[in-house]
Amino acid sequence: MKIVITGALGHIGSRLIREIPAVFPGAEIVMIDNMATQRYCSLFNLPAEGNYRFIEADVLNADLDAIIDYADIVVQLAALTNAAGSFKNKEEVENVNYNATVKVARACSNAKCPMIHLSSTSVYGTQRRVVDEDCSADELQPQSPYAETKLREERFLQELASSGKLRFTTCRFGTICGISEGMRFHTAVNIFCYQAVMRQPLTVWRTALHQKRPYLTLDDAIGALMFIIKNDLFDQRVYNVLTENLTADDIIQLIKKHIPRLDIEYVDAEIMNQLSYEVSNRRFSNQGFKFTGSIEKSIKETIQLLRPVGG
């Protein structure tokens, strides 16, 4: 088996490349990353039993037809992922994320290779309490350039698949939390853990304290990707993939179990006009996947990882 992973050294990819050898022994793991974030540490201490090949390249310029030739699966993770920050670099997000996905999808189509595409639950802008993949078009109101681009990517893949030229699955991931070699700290759970350990005020969006949002542990994220590959689940459908819907206050209370004294600083953000809502993961669960991750455990592990620095 040959598995190609773009954006392989990021938060999700750096964990995925370490888990594959145990699940798919002997698989050739081709990792593509442009090193823009210089996460060299993601390449350290890879499992000895892994059959790895690393290509330092940008998917926008790489010869993907040659790389993906004879591949069995492509996992498209290459993206700029900071939704809140995407207001400041809208054109770059559009260029990198959308065009990268288009190029990867076309190369997969040429190679007749199925593709896992990562989207985001941030494409929802609904005022309903619970939303699922069958929601109406007016409930897809992405609140950031990042989310807008993800929705465009989804539509492109559907168009390509409608002509019979691509087998794929789109996963709308909740906000990721949990530790990995390439983890980042720009999303809510991770940055709250960092700020708490460093005795900094937790920067909470002014309207978000009691708004529910979907969160996804890295354990469940990796489990979901493995499940799709093992079950050949490439049905051109969209799946919400999330562990739990929580409020910012829920997360803060979980952090307080380890660091009781916290200060909160309320800040303005451009993504702050949505009402509270929950995202359903029932469609993916009905395929047989069991969400077993724990947000509380992810918080505990992140704090333990950082605590020697914070004192």
Q: Do 267 and 223 fall within a single domain?
A: no
25 and 160 part of one domain:
yes
Q: Give the residue from 102, 69, 77 showing the smallest Cα distance to 2.
A: 69
What is the domain-level CATH number for residue 253? Answer: 3.90.25.10
| CA gap 8, 76 in Å, rounded | 9
Domain holding 109, by residue range, is 2-178+214-243+279-286
Do both 150 and 203 map to the same domain? no
In this prediction, residue 211 carries a pLDDT of: 87
pLDDT recorded at residue 86: 43
Residue-level pLDDT, tens digit, the chain, 311 residues: 999 999 999 999 999 999 999 999 999 999 999 998 888 999 999 999 999 999 999 999 999 999 999 999 999 999 875 444 444 556 777 778 899 999 999 999 999 999 999 999 989 976 677 899 998 888 888 878 888 999 999 999 999 998 888 999 999 999 999 999 999 888 889 999 999 999 999 988 877 788 899 999 999 999 999 999 999 999 999 999 999 999 999 999 999 999 999 999 888 765 545 567 899 999 999 999 999 999 999 999 999 999 876 55
Does a structural domain hold residue 69? yes
Instruction: Mark whether 125 and 199 lie in a shared domain.
Output: no
* Cross-strand bridge partners of residue 170: 117, 238
Q: Are residues 193 and 47 in the same domain?
A: no
Q: What is the CATH number of the domain that holds 24?
A: 3.40.50.720
Angle at 17 between CA 246 and CA 105, to 5 degrees: 85
pLDDT of residue 126: 66
> Tokens standing for 276?
């509270």
**Residues 130 and 157 occupy one common structural domain:** yes
The verdict on residue 20 lying in a domain is yes
Task: Return all residues near 94 (Cβ < 8 A) that are at least 6 apart.
Answer: 145, 149
Q: Specify if 234 maps to a domain.
A: yes
Q: CA-CA distance, 102 to 60, in Å (whole number)?
A: 9
Same-domain status, 25 and 155: yes
Spatial separation of the C-alpha atoms in residues 184 and 194, rounded to whole Å: 10
Residue 183 included in any domain: no
The answer to whether 202 touches 222, Cβ cutoff 8 Å, is no
- CA 151 to CA 124: how far, in whole Å? 10
92 within a domain of the structure (yes/no): yes
Whether 90 is covered by a domain: the verdict is yes
Give the chain's domain count.
2
119 touches 154 (CB < 8 A): yes
φ/ψ of 77, rounded to 5, equals -110, -5
- The per-residue pLDDT for 83 is 46
Contact between 78 and 59 under an 8 Å Cβ cutoff? The reply is: yes
Same domain, 12 and 33: yes
Give the separation between CA 236 and CA 162, rounded to whole angstroms. Answer: 9
- Which pair of tokens denotes residue 227? 């499940």
- CB of 124 closer than 8 Å to CB of 151: no
| Residues 196 and 74 reside in one and the same domain | no
Do 149 and 204 belong together in one domain?
Answer: no
To 5 degrees, how large is the angle CA 50–CA 239–CA 39?
40
pLDDT of residue 142: 82
Same domain, 74 and 36: yes
Contacts of residue 214, Cβ cutoff 8 Å, sequence gap at least 6: 121, 174, 175, 240, 242, 244, 245, 278, 279, 281
In a domain, 109, yes or no: yes
* Residues 77 and 193 reside in one and the same domain: no
Q: How far is CA 108 from CA 64, 205, 227, in A?
A: 9, 39, 20
On whether residue 142 sits in a domain, the answer given is: yes
pLDDT of residue 127: 63
